[in-house]
A and B are shown apart, each in its own frame.
Chain A
Amino acid sequence: MSWFGFGFNGFGQISRADVSGQVKCKVNSPVLISDDECKSGVNRSDRRIRACWSSRADLQQTQSGSGVYLSGCVCGPSAQVCVSQGCTDALISETHLTLSFTDRVELWEIKPQQNQLVWKREHELSAEHTAALPLVSGGFVQHKPPFFHPLKLCAVSLVLGSEHALLLTADGTLYSWGSGSHGQLGHGALTSLEDPQAVEALWGVPIKAVAAGNWHSAAVSSGGDLYMWGWNESGQLGLPSRGLEEEKRRGNGSGNDDQPMNTDEKSQTDVFISIQAFPALVDIANMSEISRISCGSRHTAAVTSAGDLYTWGWGQYGQLGHGTEHSTDEPTPVDYFSSHSLSVKDVVCGSWNTFVSVVPKETSSVLTETHPGLLN
Chain B
Amino acid sequence: MASVWTDIRAVLPSTVSEFPLDFSEKIELSVLKCLELSRDQLYSEADCPVSAERAQIIIDYSWEKLNIGTWRDVDKEWRRVYSYGCLFKVLSLCHGNPPQNIIQEAIRTCDMSLLMGAAIMDNILQRLVGILRNKIKTTSPNKAEWSEEPCSKKRKHDCKSEPVLNPTKEVPRIHCPSLERFRSDFLDSKKPVIIEGITDHWPAFTQHPWSIDYLRTVAGCRTVPIEVGSKYTDEEWSQKLITVNDFIDRYITGTEEDGVGYLAQHQLFDQVPELKEDIRIPDYCCLGEGDEDDITINAWFGPGGTVSPLHQDPQQNFLAQVVGRKYIRLYSPEETKSLYPHESQLLHNTSQVEVENPDLVKFPDFSRASYEECVLCPGDVLFIPLQHWHYVRSLELSFSVSFWWS
Residues in chain A within 8 A of chain B (CB atoms)? 8, 10-11, 25-26, 53-55, 73, 94-95, 110, 112, 162-163, 179, 181, 189-191, 214-215, 242, 246, 253-255, 274, 297-298, 316, 351-352
Contact = CB atoms under 8 A, between A and B. Distances in A.
A interface SS class: loop
Contact of B33 (A26, A73, A215): A73
A10 B238 contact: no
A73 B30 contact: yes
Interface of B: 28-30, 33-34, 52-54, 56-57, 60-61, 64, 67-70, 105, 238, 240, 344-346
A28 to B, nearest CB: 13
Contact of B67 (A191, A215, A274): A215
Given A73-B30, A163-B69, A10 B64 contact: no
Contact of B64 (A54, A55, A214, A274): A214
Contacts of A162: 64, 68
A10 B57 contact: yes
A255 B105 CA distance: 10
A181 B70 contact: yes
A186 B56 CA distance: 32
B53 A242 contact: no
A316 B69 contact: no
A190 B346 contact: yes
Contacts of B52: 255
B184 to A, nearest CB: 43
A112 B30 contact: no
A179 B67 CA distance: 12
A73 B57 CA distance: 14
A54 B57 contact: no
A2 B352 CA distance: 58
B60 A316 contact: yes
B64 A246 contact: no
A112 B29 contact: yes
Contacts of B34: 10
Contacts of A26: 53
B345 A214 contact: no
Given A25-B57, A246-B240, A316-B60, A214 B33 contact: no
B interface SS class: helix
A351 B67 CA distance: 15
A179 B30 contact: no
Q: Which of B28, B70, B105 has the most CB atoms of chain A within a 10 A radius of its CB?
A: B28
Nearest to A190: B346
B57 A214 contact: no
Contacts of B344: 189
A315 to B, nearest CB: 12
B238 A254 contact: no
A54 B30 contact: yes
B238 A191 contact: no
A76 B69 CA distance: 31
B238 A73 contact: no
Given A54-B30, A95-B28, A112-B29, A242 B238 contact: yes
Contacts of A179: 69
B47 to A, nearest CB: 19
A369 B344 CA distance: 58
Nearest to B25: A95
A246 B105 CA distance: 17
Contacts of B345: 191
A254 B56 contact: yes
A352 B31 CA distance: 14
A163 B68 contact: yes
B30 A297 contact: no
Given A8-B57, A11-B30, A73-B29, 19 more contacts: A10-B54, A25-B53, A53-B30, A53-B61, A55-B30, A73-B33, A94-B28, A94-B29, A94-B30, A163-B69, A191-B345, A214-B67, A214-B68, A242-B238, A246-B240, A254-B56, A274-B238, A351-B64, A352-B60
Contacts of A190: 346
Contacts of A10: 34, 54, 57
A292 B33 CA distance: 34
In the A-B complex, the 5 residue pairs with the closest CB atoms:
A54-B30, A94-B28, A73-B30, A162-B68, A25-B53
Contacts of A11: 30
A181 B68 CA distance: 9
B67 to A, nearest CB: 7
A8 B54 CA distance: 12
B233 to A, nearest CB: 15
A253 B344 CA distance: 37
A10 B38 CA distance: 13
Nearest to B61: A53
Nearest to A54: B30
A8 B30 CA distance: 13
Contacts of A214: 64, 67-68
Q: Which of B30, B34, B238, B344 has the most CB atoms of chain A within a 10 A radius of its CB?
A: B30
Nearest to A254: B56
Contacts of B240: 246
Contacts of B69: 163, 179
B105 to A, nearest CB: 8
A352 B60 CA distance: 10
B256 to A, nearest CB: 16
13 contacts: A10-B34, A54-B30, A73-B29, A73-B33, A95-B28, A112-B29, A163-B69, A179-B69, A190-B346, A191-B345, A255-B52, A298-B64, A351-B64
A247 to B, nearest CB: 12
A351 B69 CA distance: 18
A145 to B, nearest CB: 13
A298 B34 CA distance: 21
Contacts of A297: 64
A179 B69 CA distance: 8
A215 B68 CA distance: 9
A240 to B, nearest CB: 13
Nearest to A25: B53
A10 B55 CA distance: 12
A329 B240 CA distance: 19
A52 B70 CA distance: 23
A364 B345 CA distance: 54
Nearest to B240: A246
Nearest to A253: B105
A214 B345 CA distance: 24
A254 B55 CA distance: 12
Contacts of A242: 238
B102 to A, nearest CB: 9
